[in-house]
Structure formats: structure tokens, C-alpha cells
Structure 1
Amino acid sequence: MKAFLFSFTFLLGTLFASAQSQTSFSQGDIHGFWENKGLYVLKIEEHTATLNELISKNYPQKLRHNVFYNTINHLGGNKWTANRFQWKFTDGNPNNGRWVNEGETTLTMSSDKKSFTEGNRTFVRK
């Protein structure tokens, strides 16, 4: 009987610890300011990410406040889907270009909610 109680107590303890270590995510967890490698900062609110700050001088300042991701939706767990936009140059001048919708992508948040990745881009909560 003691062996059974010990095993049962151990099992309950393991299940409780496992349940406590799992992070839950919601749509609002992606909201906030996110920096990409000292290049630019995104502001995510509602279902849209805009370029809030351009740190690198390589980017035309006219891109500030433009949409970088839209239709951001929580997929489940630590994943969100979004449509990604990319500034494409039309010639050698970075000021001459247009925004191109590159389609749907997946954003994956870290378990501590301090960063997320999208392809080879990593964003850190600011």
C-alpha cells in the first residue's frame, strides 16, 4: 500500500509540475514593440504591425508607420499567422519602390514571450 501511495503521489506531483511549466498564449501576447537586430522596431497592435522606428540609416524614413504585417491572428500555442509586406526597390534608389504583399507567414513566439521569429528574422520585445 505504501508503494502505491508513493507512486500515486509521485505521479500527481509530476503531472502538477508539467501543467505549471506549460505557457499559455493568447492574441494579445504579440502586442507591443519588437526590435529586429538594431535595424527597425515594429509596433504591433490589434491585427497589424507597423514600422514604428527605423534605426538603420539604410532604410528610407518615409517607410515609418507603414504596414509590415497585417491580418495577424493567433493560430494556437505559440504561433500566429500574418501577411508579410516587403519594400521592393524599383531602381538603385532605396526611396523609389513599393510595398509588395509576400503572402502568409508564421510568427513563432518564445516560451518566455520575450522574442518571436519569422523565417530568418528574430524580434526581441523592447
Structure 2
Amino acid sequence: MPGGGVSVARLATMLEQPVVAGIGPPLEALWHHRSVHNYLSDPELSDGQWRRSQAEFVDAVGVAPAGDPATARWVAVRHDADHVHIVATLVRQDGGTVWARQDLPNRPEVRYGPTDRYANR
């Protein structure tokens, strides 16, 4: 792959491993997708800033709590300057189930409000 990254096929396989091996995976969905946007008036975030903000996001919604070695696997894809797409499995690496329903109140932009360290507001 250009730039020395991981191929999409390999990435999909790595994400899917806990789902395939999971004990009692969720019946409604095995994946959680969320698009997270920056305001047009905000500065363009660096890759590192996006990485940190999305790690905070998946921690806040309970998909991948910080410091949990058995957390669900997730990936953030940035294909434009102002947003990323997050895809996470809903099966933890230890086979447990993650429920990311009703995640809006836990979203970092709701928690941080006007004090968001990356915002121009």
C-alpha cells in the first residue's frame, strides 16, 4: 500500500477477528459507525489531534475505554480535512459485547462544549 500503511483487506481482517470469535455477539449489529465532523470555522486538525480526539470519543461512548487491554477494536478514517469516520466492532477482544447505543450524551463535543481544545469557538 502507498505510504507503507496496512491494506484495507488486512485491516478488515484484524477488525473482524474478535467478532468471528465472539461469545454471544449482539444480534442487531456487529459494528458501530459514526462520522465526527469539525466545524468549518475550526482550525484544521493534525493527524495527531484527530487521533487523540477519536481515542477520547471511543472511550467516552464506552466502545474502547482507555487503558482496557481487551477493548473493542476500532479504526478512524480521515478522508477529508474536516471529519473522520469511526468504525468499531461491538465485540470486545475478550469475547464480551459492547453496547454503544444512546451514545449522544457521552460524545466528547457534548461533554467539552465551548471548552473544546481544538475549536475556534
Of Structure 1 and Structure 2, which has the larger fraction of its residues in strand? Answer: 1
Of Structure 1 and Structure 2, which has the larger fraction of its residues in helix? Answer: 2
Tell me the TM-score normalized by structure 2.
Answer: 0.32
Which has the higher relative contact order, 1 or 2, with Cα contacts under 8 A spaced 6 or more apart?
2
Larger radius of gyration: 1
